[in-house]
Amino acid sequence: MTNSLWGRLDDVAGDAGYDDHPPRMGFFTDTSVCIGCKACEVACKEWNQVPDDGYLLTGMSYDNTGALGASTWRHVAFVEKSLDVSTVDLGLPAMGPPEGQGQATESGDNGIRWLMSSDVCKHCTHAACLDVCPTGALFRTEFGTVVVQPDVCNGCGYCVPACPYGVIDQRKEDGRVFKCTLCYDRLKDGETPACAQACPTESIQYGEVSELRQRAANRVHELHEKGVDVARLYGADPDDGVGGDGAFFLLLDEPEVYGLPPDPVVTTRDLGSMWRHVGAAAATLVGIGVASFVGRRR
Amino acid sequence: MREQSMVPEPEFESYYGRQILKTPTWKTPDVPLYLFLGGMAGGSALLAEGAALSYRPDLERVARLAAAGGAAAGTVALVHDLGRPERFLNMLRVLKPTSPLSVGSFILAPFSALSGAAALSNLTGRLPRLGRLAGAGAAVFAGPLATYTAALVGNTAVPAWHEAYRELPFVFAGSGATAAGGLAMVFTPVAQAGPARRMAVGGAALEIAAAEVLLTRVGMVAEPYQQGRPGRLMRTARALTAVAAGATALAGHRSRTVSVLSGAACVTASVLTRFGVFEAGIASARDPKYVVVPQRERLRQRQAAEAH
């Protein structure tokens, strides 16, 4: 049970009970080369037969998808920021990427910075959705990914508020919850997940997590060498609050700018303390009950 | 009152102001009502056992019915809340200590069966020994039934629930005792309702104290408990609890009218507390502020500690 709930865990599939299993597979999404084409969103929908999630225009940017959800398993975030407004934390323009490098561009007339990032389920090492699922519908695959079994899920919805990233959600008309499966069916056949396959710039890279972490470290080093000091990894650290993500990112700004929590921690870190407090409170209630009957005879 | 926070709004960045967490899909009134019913049923099962041991037949009958009725209605509310109600038995497919909902199902199921059997035996007069045994069995599950729901909401990423996981079990234990005592006061003659009054007053004191500690300890995440609709619910609940407990202690043993009114107020206050806690959690999940600002602060402190 070492670190089953929280902390560093190097063999996540082994911890889940697989004696013999393939290496842990995942995504490294390098947002510095994302062009916001949304091919990943389309490929995911097509392959997984995910129903439409509405045809609404958000009116806030080129992002009309909005957020990850039950019927949105890849979501391309478009961050449009006018450079005139306060960008104190970034120190722009001194720290901006060199001309022609990366994706951040300054158009001549009004100075807009664009950041694009394809978000996805993080397939956490310590997955709160899986831990809180009361039916066992959510399970850890032999690839170390986290998948919902639609024939078991009874739509209790516990996983929805448990996810620190706000990924998994319920399809109202269906009642059950849905999220990215990291194309479990394709993985079983040795294929690349649909989104990574469709990505034209290799912003979404699929592979063994250990190898991807190395690749990510090299890439961020390379960007720093080129003066892109704002490049940073998100979810790649196996010592972070969720034990590292199976799907992690290279970002060019703070995580919250992309709609990601800056320091997510899996709720089960506090599970032991939670049950102890519940036990003490239950004993207190019994104590109140007993005390109500002792003493006065009225 | 504390409608407005005295500290200035913290500055933080977000993705077009959109929420980061998903809003819990748990329905209202199903889930907050279940939180109340579980507490009320748990407290009532304890009252019923005490009443049986101390020979207070009227109190015993009321408490047995409250325990069984609360558990049955709570089960209905929980099943109704499911996206696929016909699959409710999947709840008993596995037992997972990491899922308070799974553990809770294994508390609620035996509690419902045992308290139902005890109530049935009490009503019909049949199999009295087995009925008493069932009642004692229900009492074993009573404490956990009333308090596990705090772990249920606490074991999420919802800031107002998770950060309050230490205090919420005690708020819920107190609220459950207040409700059980109050309900018994309404339906039991004053001469037999002494333990119900003491349980209501004890529960009220615990609930108010635990809620106060909660607000002072959880930092900015206390805001959802103090502002807007959940804030109004929590303040009304606290005031009603205090007034009802005061009236119970002063005149509950003298007047049936006071007993009925303050008992009903106790039950209402307990309902309001559960809706307040539930809605505070929803509000905190909807606002990215309660995710970003505390996490930023945590990062800042960690970085400061590492720098030293």
A238 in a domain, yes or no? Answer: yes
Region A42-58: mean pLDDT is 94
Q: Per-residue confidence at B180, pLDDT binned at 50, 70, 90?
A: very high
CA distances (Å), origin B47, targets A263, B51, B207, B290: 45, 6, 18, 40
The total number of structural domains in chain B stands at 1
CA distances (Å), origin A174, targets B77, B88, B116: 19, 15, 33
pLDDT in tens, B266-306: 999 999 999 999 999 999 999 999 999 999 999 999 999 99
pLDDT in tens, A231-288: 999 999 999 999 999 999 999 999 999 999 999 999 999 999 999 999 999 999 999 9
Residue type, A178: F
Q: Please state the length of chain A.
A: 298
Does the pLDDT value for residue A3 go beyond 90?
no
Region B72-85: mean pLDDT is 97
Q: Per-residue confidence at B4, pLDDT binned at 50, 70, 90?
A: low
Residue of B nearest to A298 (CA): B194
Other residues' Cβ atoms within 10 Å of the Cβ of residue B265: 22
Buried b (16+ CB within 10 A) or exposed e, A136-147: bbbbbbbbbbbb
The pLDDT, as a whole number, for residue B226 is: 98
Taking the CA atoms of residue B275, residue B277, residue B282 and residue B286 in that order, the dihedral angle to the nearest 10 degrees is 140
Region B94-108: mean pLDDT is 98
User: By percentage, how much of chain A surpasses pLDDT 90?
Assistant: 83
The pLDDT, as a whole number, for residue A297 is: 54
Does the pLDDT value for residue A46 go beyond 90?
yes
The pLDDT, as a whole number, for residue A188 is: 97
Least confident among A58-72, A97-111, A178-192, B161-175: A97-111
Does the pLDDT value for residue A98 go beyond 60?
no
Smallest CA-to-CA distance from B252 within A292, A286, A284 is with A292
Is B143 an interface residue toward A (CB < 8 Å)?
Answer: yes
| Residues A156, B83: C-beta atoms closer than 8 Å | yes
| Ordered DSSP codes for B56-85 | -HHHHHHHHHHHHHHHHHHHHHHHHHSSSG
Domain containing A54: what range?
A: 12-268
The pLDDT, as a whole number, for residue B267 is: 98
- Angle in degrees, 0-180, between the axes of helices B30-53 and B168-187, rounded to the nearest 10: 60
Give the integer Cα–Cα distance in Å for B227 and B215.
12
Region A79-96: mean pLDDT is 57
Smallest CA-to-CA distance from B268 within B246, B230, B236 is with B236
Q: Per-residue confidence at B5, pLDDT binned at 50, 70, 90?
A: low
The total number of structural domains in chain A stands at 1
A23 in a domain, yes or no? Answer: yes
Q: Per-residue confidence at A86, pLDDT binned at 50, 70, 90?
A: very low
The pLDDT, as a whole number, for residue A295 is: 67
User: By percentage, how much of chain B surpasses pLDDT 90?
Assistant: 95
Q: Which residues of A touch B26 (CB under 8 A)?
A: 157, 161
A65 in a domain, yes or no? Answer: yes
The pLDDT, as a whole number, for residue A60 is: 86
A297 in a domain, yes or no? Answer: no
- 8 Å CB contact between B50 and A292: yes
CA distances (Å), origin A76, targets A36, A65, B134: 6, 8, 57
Region B116-120: mean pLDDT is 98
Smallest CA-to-CA distance from B195 within A295, A283, A284, A282 is with A295
Q: What is the interface size between A and B, counted as CB pairs within 8 Å?
A: 251
Q: Which residues of A touch B161 (CB under 8 A)?
A: 161
Quote the DSSP letter at residue A72.
B
Where residue A215 sits, what CATH number does that domain have? Answer: 3.30.70.20
The pLDDT, as a whole number, for residue B269 is: 98
Least confident among A4-8, A37-41, A157-161: A4-8
Does the pLDDT value for residue B7 go beyond 70?
no
Does the pLDDT value for residue B156 go beyond 70?
yes
Q: Which residues of A touch B249 (CB under 8 A)?
A: none
3-state secondary structure of A82: strand
Rounded to two decimals, the ipTM of the complex is 0.96
B17 in a domain, yes or no? Answer: no
- Angle in degrees, 0-180, between the axes of helices B100-124 and B57-81, rounded to the nearest 10: 140
Cα A175 to chain centroid distance, Å, stands at 22
Region A142-167: mean pLDDT is 98
Say which of A137, A175, A285 has its CB closest to residue B173: A285
Is A283 an interface residue toward B (CB < 8 Å)?
Answer: yes
Residues 219-278 of A with CB under 8 A from B: 254, 256-264, 267-268, 270-271, 273-275, 277-278
pLDDT in tens, B198-257: 999 999 999 999 999 999 999 999 999 999 999 999 999 999 999 999 999 999 999 999
B4 in a domain, yes or no? Answer: no
Average pLDDT, rounded, for chain B: 96
Domain containing B232: what range?
A: 30-307
Residues 156-185 of A with CB under 8 A from B: 156-158, 160-170, 174-177
Does the pLDDT value for residue B6 go beyond 80?
no
Does the pLDDT value for residue A296 go beyond 80?
no
Residues 186-215 of B with CB under 8 A from A: 191, 194-196, 198-199, 202-203, 206
A286 in a domain, yes or no? Answer: no
Q: Per-residue confidence at B71, pLDDT binned at 50, 70, 90?
A: very high
Mutate to test the interface with B, among A288, A293, A297 (most CBs of B within 10 A): A288
Where residue B144 sits, what CATH number does that domain have? Answer: 1.20.1630.10
Q: Please state the length of chain B.
A: 308
User: By percentage, how much of chain B surpasses pLDDT 70?
Assistant: 97
Listed in sequence order, the residues at least 6 apart from B26 whose beta carbon sits closer than 8 Å to its beta carbon are A157, A161, B81, B278
B15 in a domain, yes or no? Answer: no
Query: Could you give phi then psi for residue B130, rounded to 5 degrees?
Result: -65, -35
A80 in a domain, yes or no? Answer: yes
Give the integer Cα–Cα distance in Å for B118 and B137.
9
Average pLDDT, rounded, for chain A: 91
The pLDDT, as a whole number, for residue A100 is: 46
pLDDT in tens, A179-220: 999 999 999 999 999 999 999 999 999 999 999 999 999 999
Other residues' Cβ atoms within 10 Å of the Cβ of residue B79: 17
Region A6-18: mean pLDDT is 95
Q: Per-residue confidence at B1, pLDDT binned at 50, 70, 90?
A: very low
3-state secondary structure of B49: helix
B115 in a domain, yes or no? Answer: yes
pLDDT in tens, B46-70: 999 999 999 999 999 999 999 999 9
